[in-house]
Amino acid sequence: MNPIRLPCYCGSLRQASRVVTQLYDQILKPSGVKITQFGILKLLAACPDMTTGGMAEALAMDSTTLTRTLKIIQNNCWIDVATGADRRQRCWNITEAGLQRLQDAEPLWKNAQKEFARLAHDVDLDGLTRTVFHLVQKVGE
């Protein structure tokens, strides 16, 4: 791969996001779970009965993109949905199959974390994570 350095902040962040996503997806491939799906399963395992809007906010995701990903995960029977207090509200939960898939994917995810840390050995990853989270908070206000 021969990427170019982009002069655009957004383009640079998206470029980095794509290559990191590809790395994680490749390592997670044997589990059948993509990194975007893994994050949603982890969130629902920790926070059951989340609404679509609550998840979109927590993940800083566009609700249309989230809804597409939720549909794929639901079709795999890893999550299910119920109507909330407001009939328009949809509350999501991880299923037993989803929990099992998450447990199967967890060691692969840990391997992806280690591989990323190995590749970025000269980067302060804790500082990077703090900085990115700070950007999410500032820009998302």
- Is 64 contained in some domain? yes
Number of structural domains the chain divides into:
1
123 lies in some domain: no
Residue 137 has pLDDT above 80, yes or no: yes
Measured distance CA(23)–CA(9) in Å, rounded:
21
CATH code, 43: 1.10.10.10
The reply to whether 51 falls in a domain is yes
Tell whether 134 is covered by a domain: no
In a domain, 137, yes or no: no
Domain carrying residue 48: 21-107
Q: Does position 133 have pLDDT exceeding 80, yes or no?
A: yes
For residues 1 and 139, the model is more confident at: 139
> For position 3, what pLDDT does the model report?
87
Kindly state whether residue 36 falls inside one of the protein's structural domains.
yes
The answer to whether position 119 is within a domain reads: no
**Average confidence score pLDDT of the chain:** 95
Residues 76-108: pLDDT tens digits? 999 999 987 888 889 999 999 999 999 999 999
